[in-house]
Amino acid sequence: MAETKDAEAQVVAPPAEGGEAAGEGQPEVAFELTASRQFNAWLTEQTASLAFSTYRVGKVFLIGMRPDGRLSVFERSFERAMGLCVAGKSLYLSTLYQLWRFEDAMEPGQLAGGGYDRLYVPQVAYVTGDLDIHDVAIDADGRVVFVNTLFSCLATTSDSHSFVPLWWPPFITKLAAEDRCHLNGLAMADGRPKYVTAVSRSDVNEGWRDRRRDGGIVIDVDSGEIVCTGLSMPHSPRVHDGRLWLLDSGTGFFGTVDVEKGTFERVAFCPGYLCGLAFVGDFAIVGLSKCRENRTFSGLELDDNLAARDAEPRCGLSVIDLRSGDVVHSLRLEGVVDELYDVSVIPDVRRPMAIGVKSDEVRRVLTIGEAET
């Protein structure tokens, strides 16, 4: 990992085992991060940190601020890191065949070496098998709810099985390991699953691949009704300030859904394939990815929208002011990282770090709980 030399640019060469390093003297730059001129000041003002996942490289990045005003960037390696969820002092992460729960090991007011005010330690890993888990959330009862994309359903963890199904779209006639509609996104409201996104309403093995351009839908979990259609590979639905927001990934637009009218209202265009959405105050943080050169990502309206704006797809984060719809800050990634899946806000934390499972460090982090009396 690395630290920025100024507010505008950061060069990062992540070590194989993760962690944080200066990047100086590295023989080869593996990863470059460039922050817009006011990004650091904006992040400081939010009194929050950010986390994002990248599945092809298999990394989780934690973005915070150092005491001297420079960015702190910390990373850990987890194969096919995808869904992220921050709930209190816990962090949940879906990976290739596991769902992890990390817990903060710090006492109030305590700082770890280098001034870190949050230390995520892996505590529990559910072995789910390769379910292609996408979005992850925690409900009002503290139960994990995740999008089981392979089986086209919402599910939770089990102490004895790969998963327990909770809900599936009415048009899915059988729970089968066939990724029929590419169910991917989950929006919570009042601590319960409220809306989900899918690339299509297909009910055959990988039928969604034939409906990528305009088959995307939003489903109301309570009623099972489809409340919006005509989307292009939608992702990351979120309820914020009483409104449903999502990413129309195949077009490059971030916007809102009017569930009464069944329409998607475009708010801002971002130059990339969009995936990952979080909110802090009056701002949305959107994840952008470069378009992979394969059939899944070809032939989408996004290509035309980029060409019309004389733009190239990029990887990184865009910060959108919800009051104006303007992209006001950005974090751009180059090099080995060319796609993101999820983005989360870590409130009231200045500089987070995490313990990984690929080095001896995890053996030496010991915490003691309250003794039972």
266 phi and psi angles, rounded to 5 deg:
-70, 135
What backbone phi and psi angles, to 5 degrees, belong to 360? -70, -10
Compute the average pLDDT of residues 279-286: 98
HSE (side-chain half, CA atoms, 13 Å) at 196: 32
Mean pLDDT over residues 233-254, rounded? Answer: 98
pLDDT of residue 365: 82
Residue 314: partners with Cβ closer than 8 Å, 6 or more residues away = 271, 272, 288, 290, 332
Q: What domains sit in the chain, N to C, each tagged with a CATH number? A: 2-28+37-364 (2.120.10.30)
- Report, as an integer, the average pLDDT of 322-335: 97
How far is residue 96 CA from its own chain's centroid? 15
2 band by pLDDT with thresholds 50, 70 and 90: very low
Confidence of residue 370 (pLDDT cuts 50, 70, 90): confident
Q: pLDDT, tens digit, for every residue of 72-103?
A: 999 999 999 999 999 999 999 999 999 999 99
Tell me the pLDDT tens digit for each residue of 119-157: 999 999 999 999 999 999 999 999 999 999 999 999 999
Per residue in 6-23, pLDDT (tens digit) is 333 343 333 334 565 433
For residues 147 and 369, the model is more confident at 147
Query: Which of 171-180, 264-273, 350-359 is the least confident region?
Result: 350-359
Percent of the chain at pLDDT > 90 equals 82
pLDDT band at 292 (very low <50, low <70, confident <90, very high): low
Q: With pLDDT > 70 as the criterion, what percentage of the chain qualifies?
A: 91
DSSP readout, 225-239? -EEEEEESSEEEEEE
CA distances from 30 to 11, 26, 33, 34 (A): 9, 9, 10, 14
State how far the Cα of 182 lies from the Cα of 205, in Å rounded to an integer.
10
- Surface-to-core class of residue 96, CB atoms within 10 Å of its CB (0-12 exposed, 13-18 middle, 19+ buried): middle
The dihedrals phi and psi of 197, each to the nearest 5 degrees, come to -115, 150
Does 293 have pLDDT greater than 70? no
* Confidence at residue 204, expressed as pLDDT on a 0 to 100 scale: 98
The whole-number average pLDDT for the span 265-283 is 98
Across the chain, what does the average pLDDT equal? 91
CA–CA separation, 354 vs 343, rounded Å?
Answer: 16
